[in-house]
Amino acid sequence: MSARVVVSPHNVVSFPEGGGHFWAYMQHVQGLRGIGCDVWWLEALAPGRDRGQDARRARVLADRLEAHGLGDRLLLYDIADDGTVSWLGRDGESVVRSADLLVNFHYAIRPEMLERFDRTALVDIDPGLLQLWVSRGELTIAPHDVYFTTGATVGTPEARFPDCGIDWVRIRPAVSLSDWAYARESSHQRFTTVSSWWGDEWIHDPGGEVVENNKRVTFLQFAELPRLVGRRLELALCLGPKDAADMALLEDRGWVIRNTGEVANTPAAYRAYVRGSHGEFSCAKPSCMLLQNAWVSDRTLCYLASGRPAVVQHTGASTDLDGHDGLLRFSTIDEAAAVIDDVTARYEHHRHAARALAEELFDARKVARAILTAAIGSSRAR
């Protein structure tokens, strides 16, 4: 008998324009389904939302899940201040109480929902940051049975952040190989990425200093890169009016700027944009380098699985991320230029290497088996 697994994403139903955000969780859903699990999508409705939009947003998410054969597996709920759970549409009580496991990505999930499950597992996809938030009292995580993290250095001496006294089980990030098949060569020669730019995000570094933690900080450090490699690099960003000066600077130096609302505002558009690219060039948030969390984006794995080489910023030593063709990391602008030149010179080699790396290390089915084995035993992970 297959395991019944409920996956709890965060803020997908309230963020319908986030095509890539949907895929961050769908990778795991598809991995679990790929090993035979009975999978359900459970999501909390945002407390401060416009309730008049609930039905429309639920339809949007249900339609997107239906494209993967999951339209009838959506469970949406609300929790009142007194802990009372109410369901939007389908009543999910019988499903959650009969589930073998909750795979939870919603760090602030309420205990009233957790207590309905026999076994619960938290999955950390913000390594380093999550531990800082918890250690500084900025976030309280309700107790789970198992704690997973996609950060290769979490709980190791290489980490520059506390483990919060939690016994972290390290897993790899995941990509659904069937959804991200090897694609034919793109018609243009641009390296692209889809990214945030400014989110007014600040963190305390390990020394207690407040530092800006927005992608704009790192991308601006590489503003001159197009001139070094003799090609235009493309950024798809979520932009606001205050970003105009930054965009003018980048465009003057040879960057192409796209708005995510035009190219990645649905799961289908996001997938088409990634698969239509020549490869990926992307920077990471300053916290990744500061904390040495060995993070890699699930977006980068989509490029790899599609046969698109990825050139990404070095975020900490990792045997999974270091020393591979198809996935090349950099710390300085000269290193970034050198690896882009190498990808250009050996493009077909790097394309095949990218797909092979996704298959070997990041197959969502392998990650799903690792989660089930650690959370409910090997007999249910076959």
pLDDT for position 363: 98
Neighbours of 56 (CB within 10 A): 10
CB 228 within 8 A of CB 183: no
Range list for CATH 3.40.50.2000 in the chain:
191-361
pLDDT for position 241: 86
C-alpha to C-alpha distance for 339 and 351, rounded to whole angstroms: 14
Question: Sign of the CA dihedral 283, 284, 285, 288?
Answer: negative
Residues in the chain, pLDDT under 70: 1, 378-382
CATH topology for 191-361?
Answer: Rossmann fold (3.40.50)
Which residues have CB under 8 Å from 232's CB, separation 6+?
Answer: 190, 226, 254, 255, 256
The region, left, alpha or beta by phi > 0 then psi within -120 to 50, assigned to residue 326 is: left
pLDDT for position 24: 98
The total number of residues written for the chain in this structure: 382
Q: Take residue 13 and report the two structure tokens written for it.
A: 């139903």
Q: Tens digits of per-residue pLDDT, 3-36?
A: 999 999 999 999 999 999 999 999 999 999 999 9
CB 26 within 8 A of CB 267: yes
Residue 198 Cα distances to 230, 237, 242, angstroms: 27, 9, 9
Q: 4-174+363-380: which CATH number, 2.60.40, 3.40.50, 1.10.10, 3.30.160?
A: 3.40.50
b/e map of 186-225 (b: 16 or more CB within 10 Å)?
Answer: beeebbbbbbebbeebebebeeeeeeebbbbebbeebbeb
Strand, coil or helix: 287: helix
Q: Take residue 352 and report the two structure tokens written for it.
A: 């095949």
pLDDT for position 240: 85
The CA angle 171-177-180, to the nearest 5 degrees, is 120
C-alpha to C-alpha distance for 264 and 283, rounded to whole angstroms: 18
pLDDT for position 368: 98
pLDDT for position 204: 83
